[in-house]
A and B are shown apart, each in its own frame.
Chain A
Amino acid sequence: MSEGVMAVVKPEMKSYIWLQTADGSIQQVEEEVAMFCPMICREILQTGMGSSKNYAISLPQRVNPAILGLILDYCRFHQVPGRSNKERKTFDEKFIRMDTKRLCELTSAADSLQLKPLVDLTSRALARIIEGKTPEEIRETFHLPDDLTEEEKLEPLRNITDDPRIRLLNRLYARKRKELKEREKLKNVEVEEDRVDERSVEDLLTFINGGDGDSKGVRSNKNKKKNRRRKDHLKDSSSNSVNGNHNKELDALSSACHDGEVNNMASASKNSKLKDSTSVSFSPKLEFDDGDMDDDLDPAMKEELDREVEDFARRLNSDWPERMQEILSLGEGRLVPISMNGNGSTHRYTKCAAAALSELEEMRA
């Protein structure tokens, strides 16, 4: 394959290629190992360089001697044709265990040498590292400068996280999630089964391709993070729908209940909602770091906020206008727990609004 390029050699003698890194140091490497790397391969074939110390191939700047050693280890293992896919994967997994700084250097070097399999391997590893971290942790891991102003950082969230009700909402959501996990598992069975069906062919694919296992591995790690993402997103998307239905809801609510409390709540929430509506215009940036934080509010305020939150939460998933009409026509006062996001809830609520809402939930369930 590559023997034609170099001088004829006796079977016992290996031929070596000379490589020079940016800092001037020169290394020699077995030819077949060096040829595994496309950039070096091309240099040899096109320019004939590398055959001796004086004509060493200069490597791109991003490759330093230590990293070059690693890359050559990688090439040395993988250029052997007889290895099974499983072996290669095991090697890769062990190979990739290094500190992040080294990993970044390796990615950079592999990219400049155009060694695509190694770029893929290192990029995936970096993606896995990034995946589970908060921005602060990422900054710490990679020593990135913290160069955003406070405003900029909060830009997508500015008008959302400032709202204490949203924070309360986060906590409610978190609690809800814990309470209802069992119920959800039952309902999830159907969805899970479909995925199980594809298992056997998945295994086969992994076996054949040898590398697909990675992508699935990355996916499975995301689940826990999805938790927060989805919760946030839901809130956000719902707040969008809230604003649209705003006035109608409040009118309907105030007409449905003659409870003075409710009216207060309605008007209070109306005020603050209006303030919010302009800022929640487009909602893809979602982040609520403080889901589990306790606010320093005095109890009275807290109560009122709680009520507001419930009201707010109720709206999150309801098709309020149509449903409201149906509820009004039924008009019974049962005390059934309301749910948020369609889940059951055991939270406090005001009677009338709650009754109306209970009807709603029963119909949806």
Chain B
Amino acid sequence: MATKRVKRNCGEKKVQNEPDIMAEDRISQLPDSLIHYIFSFLPTIHLVRMSRVSRRWRRMWVSTPFLYFDCQFNDVTFTKQVNRLSMFLKFLGNCLRCRKLYMQPDTFITSLKLHTYYKLGRYAAQRVDNWVRFAIQSKVKELDLQVRGYCTPPFVYTASSLMQLKVHMGSEVASLSTSSSLTHLELRGLKLEVRFLSKFPSLKVLSLISVESNYESFQNLISGCPIIQDLHLLDPKEIHPMHGYLCRLDISNIDFPAKTLKTLSLFSVTCADQRLECLISGLPLLERLTLICFYGVNISILSHSLKYLSFDPFGDNTKAKFVTPNLVYLYLRCRVSWIISIEAPNLFQGDLSLSDGGYKSASYFDLVHFLANLNGLKKMKLSIVWDEDMIFPEDIRNTSSPPLPNLKHLEASLYDKHKKNSELHEFLVWCAPSVETVKINGESYCKY
């Protein structure tokens, strides 16, 4: 029975036998730690199967310091959710019990990941608490709890060995306080509360995604991170102080004391214009900036250090100006008329997704002017809701100079794919006289 093949759902083909007779065992040359690392990408339950492969792998599922418990049951048909959850919990419990059985008592766990979409009852939550406590006692470094409705116990936040913490989908308030070892923190889909004077001296990467909180907590958290390098505020919601409803976070009054920021991402955030300008100019090490669904009217980005910029604002009357001498990569998704000027002489690549607002509000000159801003560009991907009227007629072409003289590679994709491409091609070649490769909607056009 052990040798019989099983009909598989996944349809994966049997690997062809390698032709060489001297079949060499390559994976055994990898050290244990590397094999554990490879295994860490798979849920532990897959590894149980590995115990039948070879002697070396026999106890790998027990000795691996990466524990990953996932409970996706997409192909299995059960009517009751509680069955799945209790199966999941039973397996987890048994796994940890086995671990205690087989391993030395002081073995470390490097990472524990629990992913379940099924809501835990009180009893189950207590068991999870115990397991998390066990992991922390085993000096876990990375904890990833994506357990719906689970309230992370407070001892997690103060665990001394914990370096990376990810909590998704908690239902109750996550209350953060000082943690000296945490380097990566990702909170998603929960309510946050941060006490005054909380310190996170080692925190380098902070991601708050769909987090609800009040203004003070956000400020406390951001002020408490002196060496932060990556900050992602994606869809943060603030409880309006007066009215009590949730609204978009306004970071105008939030102070960012740490000047070590290298990456900043703001999604669905508002900020007063002057404040944004101050903020960005005041970050001397900022290399990557992403502003998406950003509300602003006169946006001006001045930064010497900025290398990568992604800009996708939201609004009707936005105007933007970039003074970024070292910018290497630009992603723009906006209307042509919104960009006043871009000063980026070293720009290497741009991904532009342009629309004219649907009211033909952009004139030809706007477009030329806009493209001329990018005249240092070597490589561009242009994705446009293009109207044929946007293609300049001959006379205008004769009076203007080609806006993109240095462009070498151009890829354009049009929203409406049925339009004739040849005219567009001609126009693009005029825009970029020294272009070497042109692709329109995935088809390459030979220049000559």
Contact = CB atoms under 8 A, between A and B. Distances in A.
Contact of A290 (B1, B90, B210): B1
B49 interface: yes
A227 B49 CA distance: 14
A141 to B, nearest CB: 5
Interface in A305-351: 317, 341-343
Interface string A21-65: 000000000000000000000000000000000000000001000
B29 A342 contact: no
A35 B41 CA distance: 29
B87 A222 contact: no
A199 B80 CA distance: 26
B254 interface: no
A108 B34 contact: yes
B8 interface: yes
A204 B312 CA distance: 12
A341 B83 contact: yes
Given A191-B81, A226-B74, A201 B38 contact: no
Most buried by B among A127, A152, A215: A127
A201 B235 contact: yes
Nearest to A339: B79
B75 to A, nearest CB: 4
A91 to B, nearest CB: 14
Interface stretch (A8-16, A79-87, A250-258, A265-273): A79-87
B234 A201 contact: yes
Contact of B46 (A104, A157, A225): A225
A148 B265 contact: no
Interface string A277-313: 0000011111101111100000000000000000000
A260 to B, nearest CB: 33
B221 to A, nearest CB: 19
Nearest to A80: B348
B12 A231 contact: no
A248 interface: no
Nearest to A214: B41
A146 interface: yes
Interface string B1-16: 1111111111010110
Interface in B64-113: 70, 72-81, 83-84, 86-87, 90-91, 94-95, 97-98, 101
A127 B329 CA distance: 33
> Which of A144, A176, A228 is most buried by chain B, counting CB atoms within 10 A of its CB?
A144
Interface in A94-147: 99-101, 104-105, 107-108, 111, 119, 123-124, 126-128, 130-147
A156 interface: yes
A176 B77 contact: yes
A285 B349 CA distance: 52
Given A82-B349, A137-B14, A138-B53, A289 B27 contact: no
A222 B26 contact: no
Contacts of B98: 282, 284
B232 A342 contact: no
A364 B51 CA distance: 37
A219 B72 contact: yes
A101 B41 CA distance: 19
Interface in A210-230: 215, 218-219, 221-230
Interface in B1-48: 1-10, 12, 14-15, 17-18, 23-31, 34, 37-43, 45-46, 48
A284 B41 CA distance: 19
A104 B24 CA distance: 11
Contact of B26 (A101, A123, A138, A284): A101
A283 B52 CA distance: 16
Contacts of B9: 224, 227
A204 B267 contact: yes
Contacts of A135: 49-50, 52-53
A240 B183 CA distance: 41
A177 interface: yes
A205 B234 CA distance: 9
A294 to B, nearest CB: 10
B335 interface: no
Interface in B196-231: 209-210
B50 A228 contact: no
B26 A100 contact: yes
Contacts of A187: 79
Nearest to B267: A204
A172 to B, nearest CB: 13
Given A123-B38, A287-B48, A289-B1, A147 B79 contact: no
A153 interface: yes
Contact of B29 (A104, A139, A177, A181): A104
A153 to B, nearest CB: 5
Nearest to A157: B2
Interface in B341-378: 348-349, 351, 378
B328 A81 contact: yes
Given A82-B348, A123-B41, A194-B117, A342 B90 contact: no
B379 interface: yes
A261 interface: no
A191 B17 CA distance: 42
Given A107-B34, A123-B38, A292-B7, A148 B54 contact: yes
A181 B87 CA distance: 19
A286 B118 CA distance: 22
B79 A184 contact: yes
Contacts of B58: 148, 152
A300 to B, nearest CB: 22
A198 to B, nearest CB: 8
Given A143-B23, A153-B52, A237-B86, A132 B12 contact: yes
Given A147-B55, A218-B41, A233-B90, A286 B48 contact: yes
B331 interface: yes
Contact of A293 (B4, B28, B76, B97): B4
B41 A215 contact: yes
A154 B51 CA distance: 10
Interface string A192-208: 00110010010011011
B141 interface: no
Given A215-B41, A230-B87, A223 B77 contact: no
Interface of B: 1-10, 12, 14-15, 17-18, 23-31, 34, 37-43, 45-46, 48-58, 70, 72-81, 83-84, 86-87, 90-91, 94-95, 97-98, 101, 117-118, 188-189, 209-210, 232, 234-235, 265, 267, 290, 292, 307, 310, 328-329, 331, 348-349, 351, 378-379, 381
10 contacts: A107-B38, A124-B41, A127-B39, A142-B26, A148-B54, A156-B48, A226-B72, A283-B90, A284-B48, A343-B78
Given A183-B77, A284-B91, A317-B80, 20 more contacts: A84-B331, A100-B26, A101-B24, A104-B30, A108-B29, A134-B49, A138-B50, A140-B14, A140-B15, A143-B18, A153-B2, A177-B76, A198-B189, A201-B235, A201-B267, A204-B267, A224-B75, A285-B48, A286-B48, A289-B3
